[in-house]
Amino acid sequence: MSPELFSHRLIFVTGKGGVGKTTVALALGLAAAAAGRRTIVADIQGSGEQQEAELAPGLFRLSVDPQSAMDEYLLVKVPGPAAQLLRQSRLFAAFAMATPGMRELLCMGKLWELAQFERRTPDADAYDLVVVDAPASGHGAAILRTPRTFADIAQVGPIAHQAQTIAATLRDPEFTAVVAVSTAEEMPVNETLELRDALATGPDPLELQAVILNARYPDRFTTAQASAIAAALARTPAPADGVRSALSVALTEHARARREAAQAQRLSAAFGPRLLTLPYLFEPAIELPQLRRLAAELSP
Ligand SMILES: Nc1ncnc2c1ncn2[C@@H]1O[C@H](COP(=O)(O)OP(=O)(O)OP(=O)(O)O)[C@@H](O)[C@H]1O
Ligand SMILES: [Mg+2]
């Protein structure tokens, strides 16, 4: 991974559902922390850690949800009893949350706050880098646009001002980077190309800083070897079940590797040196040791 990526303050990791966004966000976080950057990986599902929790030395994790982002915003921005009243007002909460895009704006506001050297939240330490485990591509691109949209609609007032500030940092390519995760399959590759195009259009165009091809299958056999395996399978009598199934597995894996090669080629043609590949890990679960292996491949 080019060291330049880790010099950003905010890295958005997005991609099709299930391609490995969470895995890659954590691996990037580990790589950045290992390179000495105090890093937090934040997701916007609001289902994980509600407090900033340390996962590994220099690597923290947080789940951002709109409700607590709003509570915190009111606490910091609105003085005294008024905030208390607003926070307790279910009508106000219901109204705010029903405003289209408000949830996204609140989440973006919190992510932006995390990325400030001067944290708005009292007693909070600063991070060098915030890695966002963002929602799947379509929604991921939309959430990046929310502050700009709000700024354009509201124009004046505290929300517009806040949204303008956030939008300005998002369109600053030194501050914010967007990374797409894909697997070497047709639909995820299509979605990655669509994401690139969606980000490039509109008033604040963004570029994909890197594309990570995750979970690439090993390509173990040449075409000649695969033919030899197929021939051996045809010669092997049915009673030798173990041998037959081992040969079939090898052929299936070979077929998959070849299908993946064609899709990897599409990504490579589109992104050239910005494309990085992570291997498929044949492990029962991806936990810290496995994440460290992936992080080693992403290290600057
Ligand atoms: N390189 C890899 N090798 C093997 N398994 C992997 C790899 N990367 C991810 N996985 C596994 O694939 C599954 C999906 O990964 P992950 O949860 O990171 O995807 P996601 O894009 O965040 O999904 P969602 O869209 O649901 O949030 C998980 O079980 C994860 O452990
Ligand atoms: Mg995920």
Q: Is the model more confident about 261 or about 72?
A: 261
Residue 107 CA to its chain's centroid (Å): 15
Give the CA diameter of the chain: 83
Q: What is the CATH number of domain 3-220+272-298?
A: 3.40.50.300
For ligand 1, what atom is nearest to the CA of residue 280?
Answer: 3
Q: Where residue 207 falls among pLDDT bands split at 50, 70, 90? A: very high
Ligand 1 geometric centre to CA of 291 (Å): 11
Of the ranges 39-48, 83-92, 171-180, the best mean pLDDT one: 171-180
Question: Any long-range contacts for 38-41 (C-beta under 8 Å, 24+ apart)?
Answer: 38/125, 38/126, 38/127, 38/128, 38/129, 39/127, 39/128, 39/129, 39/130, 39/131, 40/114, 40/127, 40/129, 40/130, 40/131, 41/131, 41/132, 41/133
Give residue-wise pLDDT tens across range 240-270: 788 999 999 999 999 999 999 999 999 999 9
Nearest to 15 by CA among 100, 195, 190, 137: 137
Give CA angle at 174 (298, 147), nearest 5°: 105
- Looking from the CA of residue 214, the nearest atom of ligand 1 is 1
- Closest listed ligand to the CA of 182: 1
How are beta strands 275-279 and 208-216 bridged, if at all?
A: parallel
Residue nearest atom 11 of ligand 1, based on CA coordinates = 20
Question: Is residue 78's pLDDT more than 70?
Answer: no
Minimum-distance ligand 1 atom for the alpha carbon of 26: 18
- How many angstroms separate the alpha carbon of residue 18 from the centre of ligand 2? 7
Mutate to test the pocket of ligand 1, among 19, 23, 277, 294 (most ligand atoms within 8 A of CB): 23
Minimum-distance ligand 1 atom for the alpha carbon of 19: 21
Span from the CA of 149 to the centroid of ligand 1 (angstroms):
31
CB atoms within 10 A of CB 254: 21
Q: According to the model, what pLDDT value does residue 170 have?
A: 94
Q: How far away, in angstroms, is 241 Cα from ligand 2 center?
A: 39
Q: What is the Cβ-side half-sphere exposure of residue 24, based on CA atoms within 13 angstroms?
A: 32
Q: Which atom of ligand 1 lies closest to the CA of 286?
A: 31
Ligand nearest to the CA of residue 26, numbered in listed order: 1
Q: How far apart are CA 27 and CA 277, in angstroms?
A: 13
Between 88 and 17, name the one with better pLDDT.
Answer: 17
CB-based pocket (< 6 A), ligand 1: 17-23, 136, 214-215, 278, 280-281, 286
Which H helix or E strand runs over 215?
strand 208-216
Q: For residue 226, give the amino acid letter.
A: A
Examine the pLDDT at 202 and tell me if it is beyond 70. yes
Residue 41 CA, ligand 2 centroid: distance in Å? 12
Split at pLDDT 50, 70, 90, the class of 77 is low
pTM flag (> 0.75):
yes
Give the mean model confidence (pLDDT) for residues 186-198: 96
Can you give the residue ranges of every domain in the chain?
A: 3-220+272-298
Burial of 171 (0-12, 13-18, 19+ CB in 10 A): middle
Q: Is the pLDDT of residue 42 over 80?
A: yes
- Ligand at shortest distance from the CA of 291: 1
Ligand having the closest approach to the CA of 286: 1
